[in-house]
């Protein structure tokens, strides 16, 4: 049995944990990227704001656009509800509601991470301290995934939490694609350039895109040799075996939904998402086309998120006919 | 020289009046001496860190990141000999049994009033009396299934019952968690002596709750006011350790006198609620109409016998300081036994002679409101200013039924880690007693400790701390 109210917090716990890990990854990756780029190549920190969808919120709070401001805003700013410290804090508040359903260690992990961030997120401006912090966050999130993966029953508690993780993961991958990959492409139907014509740093940047979603290694195992734009896009959208590709997330979500109480709105929204993913518009290497495609995917993800809320978390209202069901414990 | 020069102004639980360890505490004191003050301070820090990491907390209202405060804990335990505890256990069950007879009688024929043991206005005019409970017949005849009594030890070593908390007493999760932490910090001591375990409580509570269900294979929930309640940690802890649902008012819906939980699968019938919501907030249809913490129809589902509620509504009628003063008579009347645990002598201000005495002796008495909990509204005579005493005298004269007074009890001490080393600090003790199909008492209880020298205030909401409590079997 899973209370509708608690399910809502489980779902958001999944989303917030995934978001925290993703945010730590892209911040670490962007910081690392600088090391590989020559000092005269301008590094635009505001792309991180675009990825996280916080360009306007940032402009409201900061005058500058530099590294220190952007990093403080994204990692340590308590006034920014999507900052890393606030995301982990939100995960902890979600966990507070569903703590009784999860392994004891899960609470300890998130609690410790929360305490660590409250105390140490202020060091976001120093690059080395920042990298260390982001690595710690990724590690803590991975450890937590391990705890959940190896100790939880595969019941509705597990499924709802995973549903949150997968939808957040798909969302993050599409955002990274849109902003980071899109930024490397040209607009208009220009075919992929032969490697020799590319800027020497383009490959480094494409590697950065892959690293943002921990996909570098897997990509190399599948596609030996130079990193090619079209392949990266295909890989992140449609590789069935890579756990952070949009397709893989959709597969996972459909499998989870299939075992949750049957709700036609949710299965319908999953199907809708899959169909958008399958029917890509335009050419693979056009920024405008990619942007439109990502937009469509995000609309479909938002629709799925919405129906999950109405189908499960608002279930069992007094308006619904009371159904007696004996529950074996 | 951890204990050198240690002297308590009253009875100390570990060290006797000549500065020697009591026999039951000999091992512990020797160990503390052996590790020395620096190591002890390190273990205290380790304990506090592990409490913080585990998120053992109580809630306070606070802006910003998180709403909880770390549970305050002192690693030096309080020790009780098993032989003494065995007697206390029997006394606690006796008391709770008699009080349950009393509650059932109050909402039934009121034989005890007819017999002239307690005055009619005591129960019928009580704030805790609920009309909706009249004639109800809960399972096993038990109304108060969970009781968290407060015990205090006076200068001469006598253990008194200070309060019977029959409504929604809290603290049991901290009692169990304190032990977990102590085992980490003093692991070696557990190997050498027989310290009775405390972790059976959730399983025993679950058994009691299941025994109240109108149906086999019951669905059980802990009803919490929510994450902002000061005891939310405990509600969550008990739901987890019993493997039952943690429920809020908004999760409940009642149709045709049957209560359901709103689940992702639709409504699921619920059979037993261990409610941690006060009577007044349980059911806006019958009680406070503005409450969102309970659910409309809960009381009628309970009256119809479709839902068990623990503690049952209306138990507050026996959790009143004036009723407290009658408990020895209540035990004699229903059980035909002498009380095993003494009451603190209590003056009822509603009684003319008592009131006259109280008003003349205010500076030496503790004056308490009849119907409050958590230490609120208490005036400690010896510590009160002239103005406070005058104010309380006026209030007593205006509403005598609302006030009782007791002689100041010493409250024993336990050595407690302070900046200057180990110092005596006053403690009380809250064991938890369960009653349903059978009965159970926790081994020891939650020891609460006042933080400041001479202070008698042990409530965590008012800055008190806590200690682990060892019931030690010395074989003697």
What ipTM did this prediction achieve? 0.86
- E-assigned strands of B137-271? 146-148, 150-153, 159-163, 194-195, 220-223, 245-247, 252-255, 258-263, 266-269
Of B211, B206, B215, the C-alpha closest to B139 is B211
Distance CA A246, CA A239 (A): 8
* pLDDT per position as a tens digit, B208-263: 999 999 899 999 999 999 998 888 999 999 999 999 999 999 999 999 999 999 99
> Is the predicted pLDDT of residue A96 greater than 80, yes or no?
yes
CA distance B431 to chain A (A): 24
Beta-ladder partners of B449: B427, B465
Residues of A contacting chain B (CB within 8 angstroms) = 1-7, 78, 85-86, 89, 92-93, 96-97, 99-101, 104, 107-108, 111-112, 114-115, 118, 156, 160, 260-261, 312-313, 315-318, 320, 322-329
Q: Measured between CB atoms, does B248 come within 8 Å of chain A? A: yes
Distance CA B2, CA B14 (A): 13
Chain B partners of A114 at a C-beta cutoff of 8 Å?
A: 65-66
Of B311, B219, B328, B232, the C-alpha closest to B274 is B311
* pLDDT per position as a tens digit, B448-472: 999 888 887 777 666 688 999 999 9
Q: Which of A118, A261, A322 sits opposite B267 (nearest CB)?
A: A322
Sign of the dihedral defined by the CA atoms of residues B83, B89, B95, B101, in that order: negative
CA distance B236 to chain A (A): 6
Whether A100 sits inside 8 A of B65 (CB atoms) is no
* pLDDT per position as a tens digit, A43-64: 688 889 999 999 999 999 999 8
- Rounded to 5°, the CA angle B434-B449-B100 comes to 20
* pLDDT per position as a tens digit, A162-218: 999 999 999 999 999 988 777 777 655 444 444 444 566 778 888 888 988 988 888
| Radius of gyration (C-alpha) of chain A in whole angstroms | 20
pLDDT at B451: 86
Whether A5 sits inside 8 A of B217 (CB atoms) is no
> Is the predicted pLDDT of residue B438 greater than 80, yes or no?
yes
Element housing B369 (H / E): strand B365-369
Whether B55 sits inside 8 A of A316 (CB atoms) is no
- Which of A259-263, B120-124, B337-341 is the least confident region? B120-124
Element housing B272 (H / E): strand B272-275
In B186-290, which ranges are continuous DSSP H helix?
187-192, 201-210, 232-242
Percent helix, strand, coil in chain B, to 5, is: 35, 25, 40
In B55-81, which ranges are continuous DSSP H helix?
none
SS3 B258: strand
Of A3, B228, B66, the C-alpha closest to A11 is A3
How far the first Cα of chain A sits from its last, in Å, is 9
Chain B partners of A92 at a C-beta cutoff of 8 Å?
A: 66
Q: Which of A5, A93, A329 sits opposite B248 (nearest CB)?
A: A5
Of B95, B92, B102, the C-alpha closest to B318 is B102
Contact B281, B229 (CB under 8 A): no
Q: Which of B227, B246, B248 sits opposite A100 (nearest CB)?
A: B246
- E-assigned strands of chain A? none
pLDDT range class, residue A324, cuts 50, 70, 90: very low
Contact A175, A26 (CB under 8 A): no
Whether B268 sits inside 8 A of A1 (CB atoms) is yes
Q: Measured between CB atoms, does B71 come within 8 Å of chain A? A: no
Across chain B, mean pLDDT equals 92
* pLDDT per position as a tens digit, B259-312: 999 999 999 999 999 999 999 999 999 888 888 899 999 999 999 999 999 999
Chain A partners of B246 at a C-beta cutoff of 8 Å?
A: 3, 6, 100
> Is the predicted pLDDT of residue B373 greater than 80, yes or no?
no
Interface test with B, best of A85, A87, A99 (most B CBs within 10 A): A99
Total residues found in chain A within this entry: 329
pLDDT at A239: 93
pLDDT at B462: 66
pLDDT at A319: 45
Neighbouring residues of B278: CB distance < 8 A, sequence distance ≥ 6? B167, B168
Enumerate long-range contacts of B375-379, CB under 8 Å, 24 or more apart. B375/B457, B375/B458, B375/B459, B375/B461, B375/B462
Q: Which of A108, A315, A324 sits opposite B53 (nearest CB)?
A: A108
Total residues found in chain B within this entry: 476
Chain A partners of B229 at a C-beta cutoff of 8 Å?
A: none
Chain B partners of A318 at a C-beta cutoff of 8 Å?
A: 253, 255
Interface test with A, best of B263, B284, B285, B306 (most A CBs within 10 A): B263
* pLDDT winner (highest mean) among A209-213, B122-126, B439-443: B439-443
Whether A99 sits inside 8 A of B255 (CB atoms) is no
Distance CA A38, CA B283 (A): 69
Whether B55 sits inside 8 A of A107 (CB atoms) is yes
pLDDT at A326: 32
Interface test with A, best of B68, B231, B265, B292 (most A CBs within 10 A): B265
Chain B partners of A2 at a C-beta cutoff of 8 Å?
A: 263-265
Characterize A35-72 residue by residue with b for buried, 16 or more Cβ atoms within 10 angstroms of its Cβ, and e for exposed: eeeeeeeeeebbbbbbbbebeebbeeebeeeebebbbb
> Is the predicted pLDDT of residue B88 greater than 90, yes or no?
yes
Across chain A, mean pLDDT equals 87
pLDDT at B271: 98
* pLDDT per position as a tens digit, B392-430: 999 999 999 889 999 988 899 999 999 889 999 999 999
Neighbouring residues of B93: CB distance < 8 A, sequence distance ≥ 6? B433, B435, B439, B441
- Tell me which chain B residue has its CA closest to the CA of residue A92: B66
> Is the predicted pLDDT of residue A32 greater than 50, yes or no?
yes
Sign of the dihedral defined by the CA atoms of residues A213, A156, B266, A17, in that order: negative
- Which tokens belong to B199? 């972790």
Q: Measured between CB atoms, does B378 come within 8 Å of chain A? A: no
Quick one: what percent of chain B has pLDDT higher than 90?
A: 76
Contact A84, A20 (CB under 8 A): yes
pLDDT at B144: 97
Chain A partners of B285 at a C-beta cutoff of 8 Å?
A: none
Chain A partners of B269 at a C-beta cutoff of 8 Å?
A: 324-326
Average pLDDT over residues A276-292: 82
Distance CA B417, CA B467 (A): 11
Helix A229-238 / helix A246-259 crossing angle, nearest 10 deg: 0
Whether B65 sits inside 8 A of A118 (CB atoms) is yes
Distance CA B140, CA A135 (A): 58
Chain B partners of A97 at a C-beta cutoff of 8 Å?
A: 227
SS3 B414: strand
CB atoms within 10 A of CB B454: 10
Of B139, B165, B253, the C-alpha closest to B432 is B165
In B11-156, which ranges are continuous DSSP H helix?
26-54, 82-106, 111-114, 120-124
Characterize B61-100 residue by residue with b for buried, 16 or more Cβ atoms within 10 angstroms of its Cβ, and e for exposed: eeeebbbbeebbbbbbbbbbbbeebeebbebbbbbbbbbb
pLDDT at B82: 96
pLDDT at A42: 61
Whether A1 sits inside 8 A of B260 (CB atoms) is no
Whether A318 sits inside 8 A of B253 (CB atoms) is yes
Chain B partners of A5 at a C-beta cutoff of 8 Å?
A: 248, 250-251, 262
> Is the predicted pLDDT of residue A328 greater than 60, yes or no?
no
Distance CA A28, CA A16 (A): 18
Q: Measured between CB atoms, does B269 come within 8 Å of chain A? A: yes
pLDDT at A316: 59
Contact A48, A74 (CB under 8 A): yes
- Which tokens belong to A312? 């499960």
- Rounded to 5°, the CA angle B160-B161-B164 comes to 175
pLDDT at A199: 66
On the CB side of A246, CA atoms within 13 Å amount to 30
Q: Which residue has the higher pLDDT, A185 or A296?
A: A296
Cα→Cα distances A174→A43, A236, B413, Å: 22, 8, 63
Quick one: what percent of chain A has pLDDT higher than 90?
A: 62
- Tell me which chain A residue has its CA closest to the CA of residue B239: A100
CA distance A94 to chain B (A): 10
DSSP state of A68: H
> Is the predicted pLDDT of residue A287 greater than 60, yes or no?
yes
> Is the predicted pLDDT of residue B65 greater than 60, yes or no?
no
Contact A32, A12 (CB under 8 A): no
- Which of A108-122, A302-316, B302-316 is the least confident region? A108-122
* pLDDT per position as a tens digit, B310-342: 999 999 999 888 899 999 999 999 999 999 999
Between A and B, how many CB-CB pairs are < 8 A?
Answer: 117
CB atoms within 10 A of CB A31: 19
Q: Measured between CB atoms, does B253 come within 8 Å of chain A? A: yes
Contact A320, B260 (CB under 8 A): no
Contact B456, B446 (CB under 8 A): no
Whether B251 sits inside 8 A of A4 (CB atoms) is yes
Distance CA A203, CA A193 (A): 12
Q: Measured between CB atoms, does B274 come within 8 Å of chain A? A: no
> Is the predicted pLDDT of residue A72 greater than 80, yes or no?
yes
Q: Measured between CB atoms, does B292 come within 8 Å of chain A? A: no
Percent helix, strand, coil in chain A, to 5, is: 70, 0, 25
Sign of the dihedral defined by the CA atoms of residues A310, A314, A318, A322, in that order: positive
Q: Which of A86, A112, A324 sits opposite B269 (nearest CB)?
A: A324
SS3 B199: coil
Average pLDDT over residues B17-41: 94
CB atoms within 10 A of CB B360: 11
Chain A partners of B240 at a C-beta cutoff of 8 Å?
A: 99-101, 104
CA distance A113 to chain B (A): 9
Q: Which residue has the higher pLDDT, A277 or B378?
A: A277
Whether A313 sits inside 8 A of B264 (CB atoms) is yes
- Which tokens belong to A78? 């308590």
> Is the predicted pLDDT of residue A228 greater than 70, yes or no?
yes
- Tell me which chain A residue has its CA closest to the CA of residue B260: A322
Distance CA B92, CA B319 (A): 15
Contact B279, B167 (CB under 8 A): yes
Average pLDDT over residues B29-34: 95
The widest CA-to-CA distance across chain B, in whole angstroms, is 69
- Which of A115-119, B29-33, B468-472 is the least confident region? A115-119
Cα→Cα distances A182→A36, A37, A178, Å: 20, 19, 5
């Amino acid at each position: 049995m899973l209370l509708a109210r608690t399910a809502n917090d489980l779902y958001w716990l999944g989303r917030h944990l995934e978001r925290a890990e993703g945010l730590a990854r892209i911040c670490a990756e962007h910081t690392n990227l600088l090391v590989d780029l020559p000092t005269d190549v301008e590094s635009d920190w505001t792309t991180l704001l675009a990825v996280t969808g916080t360009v306007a919120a940032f402009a409201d709070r900061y005058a500058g656009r530099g590294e220190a401001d952007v990093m403080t805003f994204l990692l340590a700013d308590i006034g920014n509800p999507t900052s890393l410290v606030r995301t982990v804090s939100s995960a902890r508040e979600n966990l507070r509601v569903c703590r009784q359903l999860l392994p004891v260690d899960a609470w300890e992990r998130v609690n410790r991470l929360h305490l660590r961030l409250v105390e140490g997120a202020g060091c976001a401006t120093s690059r080395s301290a920042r990298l260390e912090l982001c690595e710690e966050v990724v590690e803590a999130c991975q450890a937590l995934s391990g705890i959940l993966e190896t100790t939880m029953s595969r019941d509705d508690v597990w499924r709802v939490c995973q549903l949150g993780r997968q939808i957040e993961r798909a969302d993050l991958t599409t955002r990274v694609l849109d902003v980071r990959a899109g930024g490397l492409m040209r607009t208009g139907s220009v075919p992929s350039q032969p490697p020799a014509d590319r800027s020497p740093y383009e490959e480094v940047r494409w590697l950065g895109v892959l690293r943002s979603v921990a996909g570098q290694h897997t990509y190399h195992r599948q596609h030996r040799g130079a990193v090619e734009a079209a392949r990266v896009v295909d890989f992140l959208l449609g590789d069935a075996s890579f756990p952070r590709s949009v397709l893989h997330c959709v597969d996972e979500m459909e499998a989870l939904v299939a075992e949750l109480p049957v709700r036609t709105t949710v299965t319908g929204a999953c199907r809708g998402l899959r169909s958008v993913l399958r029917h890509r518009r335009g050419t693979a290497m056009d920024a405008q086309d990619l942007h439109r495609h990502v937009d469509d995917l995000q609309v479909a993800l938002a629709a799925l998120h919405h129906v999950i809320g109405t189908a499960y978390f608002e279930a069992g209202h007094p308006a619904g006919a009371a159904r007696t069901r004996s529950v074996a414990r | 020289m951890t204990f050198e020069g240690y002297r308590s102004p009253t009875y100390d639980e570990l060290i006797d009046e000549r500065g020697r360890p009591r026999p039951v505490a000999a091992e512990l004191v020797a160990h503390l001496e052996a590790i020395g003050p620096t190591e002890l301070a390190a273990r205290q820090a380790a304990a506090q860190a592990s409490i913080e990491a585990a998120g053992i907390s109580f809630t306070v209202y606070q802006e910003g990141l998180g709403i909880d405060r770390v549970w305050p804990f002192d690693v030096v335990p309080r020790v009780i000999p098993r032989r003494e505890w065995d007697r206390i256990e029997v006394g606690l069950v006796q008391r709770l049994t008699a009080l349950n007879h009393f509650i059932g009688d109050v909402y039934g024929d009121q034989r005890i009033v007819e017999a002239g043991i307690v005055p009619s206005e005591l129960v019928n005019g009580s704030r805790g009396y609920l009309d909706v409970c009249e004639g109800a017949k809960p399972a096993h005849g038990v109304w108060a299934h969970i009781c968290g009594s407060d015990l205090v030890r006076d200068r001469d070593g006598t253990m008194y019952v200070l309060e019977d908390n029959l409504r929604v007493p809290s603290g049991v999760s901290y009692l169990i968690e304190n032990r977990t932490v102590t085992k980490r910090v003093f692991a070696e001591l557990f190997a050498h002596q027989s310290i009775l375990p405390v972790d059976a409580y959730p399983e025993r509570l679950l058994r009691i709750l299941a025994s109240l269900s109108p149906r086999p294979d019951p669905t059980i929930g802990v009803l919490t006011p929510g994450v902002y309640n000061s005891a939310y940690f405990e509600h969550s802890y008990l739901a987890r350790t019993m493997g039952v649902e943690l429920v809020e008012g908004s999760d409940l819906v009642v149709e045709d006198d049957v209560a359901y939980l709103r689940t992702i699968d639709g409504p699921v019938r619920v059979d037993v609620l261990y409610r941690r919501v006060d009577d007044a907030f349980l059911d806006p249809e019958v009680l406070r109409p503005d409450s969102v913490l309970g659910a409309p129809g809960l009381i009628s589902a309970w009256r119809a016998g479709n839902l068990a509620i623990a503690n049952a509504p209306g138990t507050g009628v026996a959790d009143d300081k004036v009723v407290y003063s009658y408990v020895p008579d209540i035990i004699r009347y229903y059980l035909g036994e002498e009380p095993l645990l003494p009451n603190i002598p209590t003056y009822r201000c509603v009684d003319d002679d008592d009131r006259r005495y109280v008003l003349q002796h205010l500076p030496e008495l503790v004056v308490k409101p009849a119907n409050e909990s958590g230490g609120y509204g208490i005036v400690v005579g010896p510590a009160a200013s002239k103005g406070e005493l005058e104010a309380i005298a006026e209030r007593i004269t205006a509403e005598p039924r609302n006030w009782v007074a007791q002689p100041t009890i010493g409250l024993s001490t336990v050595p407690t880690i302070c900046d200057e080393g180990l110092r005596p600090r006053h403690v009380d003790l809250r064991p938890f007693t369960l009653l349903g199909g059978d009965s159970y008492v926790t081994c020891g209880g939650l020891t609460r400790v006042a933080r400041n020298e001479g202070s008698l205030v042990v409530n965590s909401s008012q800055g008190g701390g806590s200690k682990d409590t060892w019931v030690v079997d010395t074989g003697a």
